[in-house]
């Protein structure tokens, strides 16, 4: 079929298989160009199909020749409809890994469940023996507790009082105001249950008990801090509370197992998860313009190459006072933030393309779903029903 983008709010409900492959290949080239020795050998990536998880998988495989096992929750093609972008990314990743002679297998299922943990452990036992890096990169709106069967939903809300700020209405291409009501009832507790550190700890416990965690292994989960204009809805909001819990979990994992667990604070990038957060797309559009002008712009892959090469597997991890790895350092550079703060109150729908890189934002968003990639013929009839090579 001929696949075109179909955007509904902040998601695109279609994805292009060849475009996703082209994008994966672009990231592979970035990782290859930064090849190093002395990194991870056998890597488990939980949340491996899109965004930061996919890029970490690519950076480990093509930067260090690592064998990778990826876990994700994606939609295969059904009734002739395109699969999700993460499905095509993973099909492409396995294909490119096979071309390079690298081990790559994937598990498509609910990472929060006991079954998927058991399946991952079985695969590691059979194929790899042990893993020396565990990457935890889930972004999920809900989680079913495997013990109680209760389903929790996460939300993006300020805590204490409502929050009004500027945002980008990406349907109408307008700068608009958004008002978000504060968290109530169990909102904070439930967001911690979904996006906090509990499930990361359960993974590490299960891996350790099964003997598949290599002695002295490393593990990393991702967080975000960002500028003050996003703090009420992010860092000081429900999701920030969950991220604090991830920091707690990192310490607990490090003190319980023979494993160093870290939280890495990453830069704001366009992903399926970040495009759903109010205020953030406007901030990202402004940030992109400033960082591109300064020559410090990075996407997921550049961030993850820097995380592995210059932090996690470097002599000095450059931890901050709270013990976190920071690869958001270029985003948070005072001159970058001062430039954002100057533009933030001034920007309007009319000046969106002068004061921000909204074109870049939109291109980046479409590329998440495999659209707008150079060298891809979007008028061509393509096969949408692609199996995951490792599933056959
Ligand atoms: P993303 O939406 O691109 O990726 C989420 C991944 O989680 C996908 O692979 C998806 O398949 C997987 N997933 C979701 N629910 C699952 C489930 N139940 N079982 C198995 N897999 C599941 O998200 P992202 O933006 O790359 O976010 C990853 C992490 O990075 C998050 O912790 C996020 O807070 C953090 N982070 C993101 C940004 C940003 O700007 N996007 C910045 C800093 C930190």
Predicted local confidence at residue 392, as pLDDT:
67
Q: Which tokens go with 179?
A: 């008002």
Residue with tokens 């979990």: 249
116, 48 in Cβ contact below 8 A? Answer: no
Please give the average per-residue pLDDT across 24-49, as a whole number.
97
Q: Could you identify the atom of ligand 1 that is nearest to the CA of residue 268?
A: 40
- Average pLDDT over all residues of the chain: 96
Predicted local confidence at residue 51, as pLDDT:
96
Q: Of the listed 136, 152, 222, 234, which one is catalytic? A: 234
Which of 76-85, 266-275, 372-381 comes out lowest in average pLDDT? 266-275
Residue with tokens 């993006």: 156
Instruction: Count Cα atoms within 13 angstroms, Cβ side, for 159.
Output: 15
pLDDT digits (tens, 9 = 90+) for 296-334: 999 999 999 999 999 999 999 999 999 999 999 999 999
64, 33 in Cβ contact below 8 A? Answer: no
Pick left, alpha or beta for residue 192 (phi over 0 → left; psi -120 to 50 → alpha; otherwise beta). Answer: alpha
Question: Is 101 a domain residue?
Answer: yes
Predicted local confidence at residue 272, as pLDDT:
86
Question: Is 162 a domain residue?
Answer: no
Please give the average per-residue pLDDT across 5-34, as a whole number.
96
Choice from 233, 262, 265, 271 to test ligand 1 binding pocket (greatest atom count within 8 A of CB): 271
Q: What is the CATH number of the domain that holds 251?
A: 3.40.50.720
Cα 237 from chain centre: 19
Predicted local confidence at residue 391, as pLDDT:
82
Predicted local confidence at residue 254, as pLDDT:
98
Domain membership of residue 25 as a residue range = 7-156+187-277+294-330
Predicted local confidence at residue 274, as pLDDT:
86
Q: Identify the residue whose C-alpha is closest to ligand 1 atom 3.
A: 51
* Cα 250 to ligand 1 centre (Å): 17
Report helix, strand or coil for 51. Answer: helix
Q: Identify the residue whose C-alpha is closest to ligand 1 atom 21.
A: 72
Compute the distance between CA of residue 274 and CA of residue 242 in angstroms, rounded to an integer. Answer: 16
Q: What angle do CA 85, 89, 95 make, to 5 degrees?
A: 150
* Domain count of the fold of the chain: 1
Question: Is 21 a domain residue?
Answer: yes
* Cα 97 to ligand 1 centre (Å): 22
Q: Is 234 a catalytic residue?
A: yes
Listed residue (376, 388, 392, 304) closest to 71, CA to CA:
388
Residue with tokens 């994805």: 15
Question: Is 239 a domain residue?
Answer: yes
Predicted local confidence at residue 171, as pLDDT:
85
Predicted local confidence at residue 193, as pLDDT:
98
Question: Is 386 a domain residue?
Answer: no
Question: Is 288 a domain residue?
Answer: no
Predicted confidence (pLDDT) at residue 8 exceeds the cutoff of 90: no
pLDDT digits (tens, 9 = 90+) for 92-110: 999 999 999 999 999 999 9
Predicted local confidence at residue 314, as pLDDT:
97
Which of 73-82, 194-203, 238-247, 267-276 comes out lowest in average pLDDT? 267-276
Choice from 138, 141, 280 to test ligand 1 binding pocket (greatest atom count within 8 A of CB): 138
Question: Is 371 a domain residue?
Answer: no
Helices (H), 175-299: 187-195, 198-209, 238-256, 280-294
Predicted local confidence at residue 10, as pLDDT:
83
Predicted local confidence at residue 109, as pLDDT:
97
Instruction: Please give all residues whose beta carbon lies within 6 A of any atom in ligand 1, as ranges.
Output: 47-53, 71-74, 86, 110-112, 137-140, 222-224, 266, 268-269, 271-274
pTM check: above 0.95: yes
pLDDT digits (tens, 9 = 90+) for 110-167: 999 999 999 999 999 999 999 999 999 999 999 999 999 999 999 999 999 999 999 9
Question: Is 353 a domain residue?
Answer: no
Q: Could you identify the atom of ligand 1 that is nearest to the CA of residue 111?
A: 19
* Cα 272 to ligand 1 centre (Å): 8
């Amino acid at each position: 079929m001929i696949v075109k983008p179909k955007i509904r709010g902040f998601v695109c409900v279609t994805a292009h298989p060849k475009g996703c492959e082209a994008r994966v290949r672009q990231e592979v080239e970035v990782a290859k160009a930064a090849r190093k020795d002395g990194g991870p050998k056998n890597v488990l990536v939980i949340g491996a199909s899109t965004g930061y998880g996919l890029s970490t998988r690519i950076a480990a495989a093509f930067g260090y020749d690592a064998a990778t096992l990826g876990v994700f929750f994606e939609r295969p093609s059904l009734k002739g409809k395109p699969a999700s972008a993460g499905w095509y990314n993973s099909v492409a990743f396995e294909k490119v890994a096979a071309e390079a002679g690298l081990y790559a297998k994937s598990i498509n299922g609910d990472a929060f469940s006991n079954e998927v943990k058991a399946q991952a452990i079985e695969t590691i036992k059979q194929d790899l023996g042990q893993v020396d890096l565990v990457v935890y990169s889930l972004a999920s709106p809900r989680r079913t507790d495997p013990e109680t069967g209760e389903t929790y939903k996460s939300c993006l809300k300020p805590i204490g009082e409502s929050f009004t700020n500027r945002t980008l209405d990406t349907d109408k291409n307008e700068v608009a105001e958004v008002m978000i009501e504060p968290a109530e009832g169990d909102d904070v507790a439930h967001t911690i249950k979904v996006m906090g550190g509990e499930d990361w700890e359960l993974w590490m416990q299960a891996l350790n008990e099964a003997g598949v965690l290599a002695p002295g292994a490393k593990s990393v989960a991702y967080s975000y801090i960002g500028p003050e204009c996003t703090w009420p809805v992010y860092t000081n909001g429900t999701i920030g509370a969950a991220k604090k819990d991830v920091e707690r979990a990192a310490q607990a994992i490090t003190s319980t197992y023979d494993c160093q667990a870290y939280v890495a604070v990453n830069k704001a990038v366009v992903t399926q998860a970040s495009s759903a957060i109010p205020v953030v797309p406007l901030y990202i559009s402004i940030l992109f313009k400033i960082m591109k002008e300064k020559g410090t712009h990075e996407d997921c892959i550049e961030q993850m190459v820097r995380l592995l090469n210059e932090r996690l597997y470097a002599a000095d991890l450059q931890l901050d006072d709270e013990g976190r790895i920071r690869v958001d350092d270029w985003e948070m550079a005072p001159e970058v933030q001062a430039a954002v703060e100057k533009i933030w109150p001034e920007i309007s729908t009319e000046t969106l393309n002068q004061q921000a890189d909204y074109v870049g934002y939109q291109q980046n968003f479409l590329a998440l779903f495999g659209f707008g990639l150079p060298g891809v013929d979007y008028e061509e009839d393509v096969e949408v029903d692609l199996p995951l090579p490792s599933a056959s």
